Amino acid sequence: MKRIIYPAIALAIGFANFSCENKTKEKQETIKEEVIESANDATINSSVLKLDENSIEVNWTAFKTTEKVGVKGKFDQIKVSNLNASETATDCINGIEFEILTASTNSGLEIRDNKITEFFFGKMANTESIKGKVISIDENGNATVSLTLNDVTKETTATVNIEDNTATMTGTINLDEWNGQEAVKSLNEKCEGLHKGSDGITKLWPDVSFEIKGKLAPQKIG
């Protein structure tokens, strides 16, 4: 009987150990899977948005000749700060601060860009960049924006439109309000022939329209 009992006991103990090892292994695997799931579960919450700073575009339109013909361009370099995450699109934009590097102006024609940099921005005080801040946006998309250029800080109005998770801010400024008359005159004289209309008058308007747009990206939570 002893020869039978001892092997039986050993077999039972071995089976119990094997069973425990399997359960421990299964438990470890389960915990591991839960940890991986938890890490992957920092899921995207489509209701919480934030402006994607890498998607921001700044476009401008200046006007020449008496007929007010538009000349379009953009700035290739812009820095933004104070970005907000919110369930409300306008709250994502409200309070944003930005700095546009004027030497990055891009009208699609290098010779014109060089003239704008030297004979327009170069005639303004401390205007290596244009600084701005979104002061407020109301429920109808009417925005107040602070702009600093030529050592002058003033507020201007703009309109914000949100469509397909893209925010677009548009507006027009009059450079006279930033004491830009000399800069406008300087560039107009340098580009005299190019700013002459059918009436023979050379004119560069002080009005500049702008469009700033960017994507509102869903944020990860968890």
Q: pLDDT tens digit string along 124-159?
A: 999 999 999 999 999 899 999 999 999 999 999 999
Question: So what's the pLDDT on residue 47?
Answer: 82
- The three-point CA angle 208-211-212 to 5° equals 135
Instruction: Please name the residues in contact with 162: beta carbons below 8 A apart, sequence gap of 6 or more.
Output: 89, 90, 141, 168, 216
Question: CA 179, CA 183: separation in Å to the nearest integer?
Answer: 9
Over the chain, what is the mean pLDDT?
A: 86
Give me the percent of the chain exceeding a pLDDT of 70.
Answer: 78
**Residue 87 to residue 162: CA distance in whole angstroms:** 13
Q: Are 188 and 203 in contact (CB under 8 A)?
A: yes
Which segments of the chain does DSSP mark as H helices, in order?
2-40, 89-93, 110-115, 181-190
Report which secondary-structure segment, H or E, holds 101: strand 97-101
In the numeric block, which tokens belong to residue 152? 């002058």
How does residue 21 score in pLDDT terms, banded at 50, 70 and 90?
A: low
Confidence (pLDDT) at 129: 98
Angstrom distance (rounded) from CA 48 to CA 45: 6
Token readout for 119 is: 């004979």
List pLDDT tens digits, range 191-203.
989 999 999 999 9
Confidence of residue 220 (pLDDT cuts 50, 70, 90): confident
d(CA 189, CA 164): 43
CB atoms closer than 10 angstroms to residue 187: 22
Stronger pLDDT, 56 or 10, i.e. the higher one: 56
Inform me whether the pLDDT recorded for 24 exceeds 90: no
Q: What is the CA radius of gyration of the chain?
A: 32
Q: Which tokens hold the place of 121?
A: 């921005």
pLDDT at 155: 98
Domain map (residue ranges) of the chain:
2-41, 45-220
- Taking the C-alpha atoms of residue 167 and residue 51, their distance in angstroms, rounded to an integer, is 8
Is 18 a residue whose pLDDT tops 90? no
Global confidence as pTM: 0.78
Q: Dihedral, CA atoms, 83, 56, 213, 217, nearest 10 degrees? A: -60
Q: Which of 15-19, 71-75, 83-87 has the lowest mean pLDDT?
A: 15-19
- The CATH code of domain 45-220 reads 2.40.128.110
CA–CA distance, 173 with 175 (Å, rounded to integer):
6
List, for residues 159-206, the tens digit of each pLDDT value: 999 999 999 999 999 999 999 999 999 999 999 899 999 999 999 999
Q: Residue 11: is its pLDDT beyond 50?
A: no
Residues 77 and 57: beta-carbon distance below 8 Å = no
Confirm if 77 and 207 have CB atoms less than 8 A apart: no
pLDDT of 20 over the 80 cut: no
